[in-house]
Structure 1
Amino acid sequence: MNGSVKRYGGTLALALLMVLVSACGWWGSGDPVSAPTASSASHSETPSAPASPPTSESTPPPSVTPSASPTASPTEDEIGGIISGMTLEQKVGQMIIAGIDGTRMDQAAKDMIAEQYIGGIILYKDNFSNLAGSVKLVNDLKKANSGNPAPLFLSVDQEGGKVSRLPKEFAQIPDNRTVASSNNPALAEEMGALLARELKVMGLNVNFAPVLDINSNPKNPVIGRRSFGTDADVVTKMGLAAMKGLSEGGVISVVKHFPGHGDTSVDSHLDLPILFKATEQLQSLEWIPFKAAIEENTDAIMVAHILFPLIDSSAPASLSKVIIGEQLRGTLGYDGVVITDDLTMGAIAKSYGIPQAAAASVEAGTDILLVAHGYDTAKEVYDKLLQSVRNGDIEEARIDESVRRILTLKHKYNLSDEPVAIPTAANLPNDDIISWKKKLGG
């Protein structure tokens, strides 16, 4: 975007004035279009009989470089003015983060961004080629979004250890368990800062990390060393330090997997985990790191696909009005961004219809639906939400609630669709990663 009118930041009031005058969005003009097509699975015990999730639709603008650290939030009136200038289609699109195929921009991805106004993209290892090619892909995604009402969330799972997605040119960062063995939160914070530097070099702005699960089940097939440990205090102090490093490094941190994935014995990528734990048990262990993160104003929380029959026998956590609406939003008082784990994972795809599950999750209080695989699946979710609002199954005010949280977070980090320079080896934080690993003794 040009230098005088930024999507976010100090010129928000000017952008708002443009919205009110033109009624065509924050940074530009454009007409709402309908949507394209897209193709689909990603976290944990034997599924019970599937619940029946309730069945349950913006004009555009230009771009800015992400700030080094979060900025002050805009006023309610500023964000409200922006939302009032968006169409229902644009607002619903902001509530979806979708995956793409391949290492290059294809027509299906362009169509999804242009016609469904997708609010964000998640990238996996298979989407990254070499360093230059990977950054070109990110820049092409930003360019494709240039006519939409808000810059993209460009996200990745870059935890360290086995969950490392970035190109091979980056030095390897060890897993959380290794970092926790130092018992030094300063080193965990430094890890977060290094992860942030990696992502920013790539033009990315969201990291689905850190893991705040307490790995209390030694047979857990999906968490394991991704957790900082088996002790709530260790996980809390190390996890919050990593979260701080990411945030202060200018990258949105998404803590996961609420209300806790550490005691499962089934991988929710494959099937639906079931945990027979009461709320009191979760409060005394699993909730501890998440409660602390909420008190530290965490940016976003990912909710797990786990069924807790003693709390809500009709829906897993990611679709549960009890767990999201009453407990996370109510008891814990969290008013930030809530995102589902990937809805194409086996836990949901095998036991629930993905579009129906998406609508149920929004009704429960979720803001962002992660649809990591399949252009067709992302379109089905988008169409289902539009239909649900038009049918009156979901009130548009409920959509506005989520869009307000999403736009506020995008503003906080001054997100931008401006391209980033193709980095060289000298731009990578590899030397600092190696020095940091020596402090860990690794």
Structure 2
Amino acid sequence: MSRSAPLALAALTAVAAVLTASPAQAHAPVAEGGPPPQRVHHAVTLHREPPKGSPRAVLARMSLPQKVGQLFMVGTPADEVDARTRGQIGRYHVGNVILTGRSYDGVRDPRRVSRTMQQQVTRRTTAGVDLLVAADQEGGQVQVLQGSGFDDMPTALVQGTWSPATLRAHARTWAGQLRRAGVNLDLAPVADTVPSRRAARHNPPIGRYDRELGFTPRRVASHAVALVRGLAAGGVGATVKHFPGLGRVHANTDTHAGVTDRVTTRHDAYLRPFARAVDAGAPAVMMSTAIYARLDPGRPAAFSPYVVGTMLRGDLGFDGVVVSDDLGGAAQVARVPMGQRATRFLAAGGDLVLTVHPETLPAMYGAVLTRARDHAAFRALVDGAALRILRAKDDRGLL
């Protein structure tokens, strides 16, 4: 053996060690202050190209403007195509829409709206990736799609009196109705717990409309899980809301500013429904814009790295899509400049910016794109958020 042979053998051994390193070893460290590391099965390996058509491969072929577009969900009336939103799929690469208002004439109108929006998908607009089409289909007074082809859904409070098995079966049926209308993401269930029937009268966002599944975290948890699993069985994703809970506030963040929860703590029993729904496989969790005095008193939850990263991602282990509550028209965030509403949410660890009003989208999109171009760390957050959204879409067959 020549003198150089041992050196060559050592070099080959070192290379082999790198190529066979575990995903956890190969994964680059997370920047200080960022969200907790993702689970090992999501880590980047050094020796394999992502399978063609996989979420990571789709992300790799996207331009930065297209990636940013995936991070937005923009409103259109459920019974009428909003020309502005339709145009934004092309101009701003918007990757998702929400059906708003009310539609009373059955499946035809929302299906037409959904189909028209999906027809805007091309390689140039969204890199060929179909849209998440969402609706608030909870039941009771919060049922966007009504009429022939849709059940007359009872309130969540009534749903909470059914057995979990019965509720799961109904949820599967409701999911099938949504799919026929072109909807693939339900912004439900509500996992907020109102403490009592009496407290409900003083809780405008949830209790006043009987949106709670019950008055104990245990009841809410069991029935939120039933809804998550029933919707999934029917081919529709669930969105658990509004983390970390709106059941103990005394004003509505849509119509009032300064809405503050003064009781919720990090390991509060009222977080149990969210934890159970996450464990049941909920693909999305919606963030509240209320302020939580005992968690992060300086920021709404949707803008809080502590609430999103430490609690939702860390304590609950959620690695799915974090959705904002409406950031376009909510009074709670009205004093925050429009563009900063989007960048603060994403910087906190959020993924999908929801704005009901299409006129607010240009400022939000522009702010995110500019910051992503100028700051590598923020650009990495955009990549991570877009990848989580693409994974959720892959589960829905939208890639």
- Does residue 261 of structure 2 align to residue 275 of structure 1? yes
Percent identical pairs in the alignment equals 28
Distance in 2 between the 1:381 and 1:215 partners? 33
The structure 2 residue matched to 1:259, chosen from 229, 236, 244, is: 244
Distance in 1 between the 2:130 and 2:154 partners? 31
Aligned equivalent of 2:339: 355
Q: Is the 8 A contact 1:232 1:285 kept in 2?
A: yes
Change in 2 beyond 3 A, CA 1:276/1:313:
same
Distance in 2 between the 1:211 and 1:414 partners? 25
Q: Is the 8 A contact 1:348 1:354 kept in 2?
A: no
Aligned equivalent of 2:28: none
Q: Is the 8 A contact 2:284 2:320 kept in 1?
A: yes
C-alpha deviations, 1:196-235, integer Å up to 9, x for none? 0110110110000011110123211111211111111110
Q: Which aligned pairs between 1:334-349 and structure 2 lie closer than 5 A? A: 334-349=318-333
Count of aligned pairs: 340
Change in 2 beyond 3 A, CA 1:285/1:274:
same
- Unaligned 5+ segments in structure 2 are 1-40, 45-49
Bigger shift: residues 264-273 or 144-153: 144-153
Letter in 2 for 1:193: R
Change in 2 beyond 3 A, CA 1:207/1:395:
same
Higher strand proportion (structure 1 or 2): 2
Distance in 1 between the 2:120 and 2:279 partners? 37
C-alpha deviations, 1:95-124, integer Å up to 9, x for none? 000012584335422320111111110002
C-alpha deviations, 1:142-166, integer Å up to 9, x for none? 1112442211000000001110111
Aligned equivalent of 2:65: 89
C-alpha displacement at 1:312, in angstroms?
1.1
C-alpha displacement at 1:293, in angstroms?
1.5
The structure 2 residue matched to 1:382, chosen from 340, 365, 369, is: 365
Change in 2 beyond 3 A, CA 1:176/1:233:
same
TM-score (norm 2): 0.80
Aligned equivalent of 1:31: none
Distance in 1 between the 2:43 and 2:347 partners? 26
C-alpha displacement at 1:294, in angstroms?
1.8
Change in 2 beyond 3 A, CA 1:347/1:322:
farther
What RMSD in Å do the two structures reach over aligned CA positions? 2.1
Q: Which aligned pairs between 1:21-100 and structure 2 lie closer than 5 A? A: 77=50, 78-100=54-76
Q: Which aligned pairs between 1:195-210 and structure 2 lie closer than 5 A? A: 195-210=174-189
The higher-RCO structure (CA 8 Å, 6+ apart) is 1
Q: Secondary structure at the match of 2:133?
A: strand
Q: Secondary structure at the match of 1:286?
A: helix
Distance in 1 between the 2:382 and 2:172 partners? 33
Distance in 1 between the 2:247 and 2:235 partners? 28
The structure 1 residue matched to 2:211, chosen from 213, 226, 249, is: 226
Structure number with larger C-alpha Rg: 2
Letter in 1 for 2:356: A
TM-score (norm 1): 0.73
Q: Is the 8 A contact 2:78 2:145 kept in 1?
A: no
Q: Secondary structure at the match of 1:230?
A: coil
Bigger shift: residues 198-207 or 119-128: 119-128
- Does residue 103 of structure 2 align to residue 118 of structure 1? no
Q: Is the 8 A contact 1:155 1:206 kept in 2?
A: yes
Distance in 2 between the 1:383 and 1:127 partners? 32
C-alpha deviations, 1:358-414, integer Å up to 9, x for none? 1011000001000111x2201111111011112218521111111111111100121
- Does residue 201 of structure 2 align to residue 215 of structure 1? no
Change in 2 beyond 3 A, CA 1:75/1:274:
closer
- Does residue 156 of structure 2 align to residue 176 of structure 1? yes
Letter in 2 for 1:80: R
Q: Is the 8 A contact 1:128 1:134 kept in 2?
A: no
Q: Is the 8 A contact 1:94 1:118 kept in 2?
A: yes
Q: Is the 8 A contact 1:305 1:317 kept in 2?
A: yes
- Unaligned 5+ segments in structure 1 are 1-72, 417-442
Q: Secondary structure at the match of 1:257?
A: strand
Q: Secondary structure at the match of 2:391?
A: helix
C-alpha deviations, 1:308-356, integer Å up to 9, x for none? 1222122110110110011111222211110000112434442322321
Change in 2 beyond 3 A, CA 1:277/1:394:
farther
Distance in 2 between the 1:293 and 1:127 partners? 29
Q: Secondary structure at the match of 1:145?
A: coil
Letter in 2 for 1:191: H
Change in 2 beyond 3 A, CA 1:125/1:102:
closer
Letter in 1 for 2:108: A
Distance in 2 between the 1:393 and 1:412 partners? 29
C-alpha displacement at 1:127, in angstroms?
6.1
Distance in 2 between the 1:297 and 1:136 partners? 30
